[in-house]
A = this chain, B = another copy of it.
């Protein structure tokens, strides 16, 4: 019944609602401002741009004439309407896939030590993430009053910060559980 929605299309519409951009610039914007919770490759971007253009939701504002044949797109009124309609649709609960959890689920096939290494690597990555979020947050709070957009950008950063901090706590808790498992193996009957 309800068909699959090309979310890349709405990322494009959303970014074009802020400013005119080319395919390559869109990719850069996504990798810069949305990369902590979204990604999109050229293989999805270019075909979707073509599709949006055919549907009249975006249009080319420069083409061929300028250097390198850069094609910059702008959003149309129909595009803005489509964007708002999508934004208003309720968000369904989604399964968030975690490779680390998939491997830990089958962790009993390895020695506890090997899984501890996994968790430790995960913790290190999370710690680096935390520093990034702290920087994002500092910058965004300093310009918070400049535009409503900044408040919404901040929401996404706060989400990442909270969740990442939670995963750090989990890493410590998990470490203890696996260390206990190791001890029990050495002394099966205490």
A27 at the interface (CB under 8 A from B): no
A1 at the interface (CB under 8 A from B): no
B125 contacts A103, C-beta separation under 8 Å: no
A174 contacts B149, C-beta separation under 8 Å: no
The prevalent SS among residues of A at the interface is helix
Residues 85-116 of chain A: 1 if any B CB is under 8 Å from the residue's CB, otherwise 0? 01110111111111111111111111000110
Task: Answer whether A38 and B97 are a contact pair too, CB < 8 Å, given A14-B105, A106-B17, A170-B159.
Answer: yes
B104 contacts A100, C-beta separation under 8 Å: no
A110 contacts B88, C-beta separation under 8 Å: yes
In A158-190, the 8 Å CB interface with B consists of: 158-159, 162-163, 165-167, 169-170, 173-174, 177-178, 181
New A-B pairs, 6, CB < 8 Å, besides A108-B152, A159-B174, A162-B173: A33-B105, A84-B109, A87-B107, A159-B170, A162-B166, A163-B170
Of all A-B residue pairs in the complex, the 5 with the closest CB atoms, nearest first, are A166-B166, A14-B106, A107-B152, A108-B148, A37-B101
The chain A residues found within 8 Å of chain B, CB to CB, are 7, 10-11, 14, 17, 33-39, 80, 83-84, 86-88, 90-110, 114-115, 118, 121-122, 125, 147-149, 151-156, 158-159, 162-163, 165-167, 169-170, 173-174, 177-178, 181
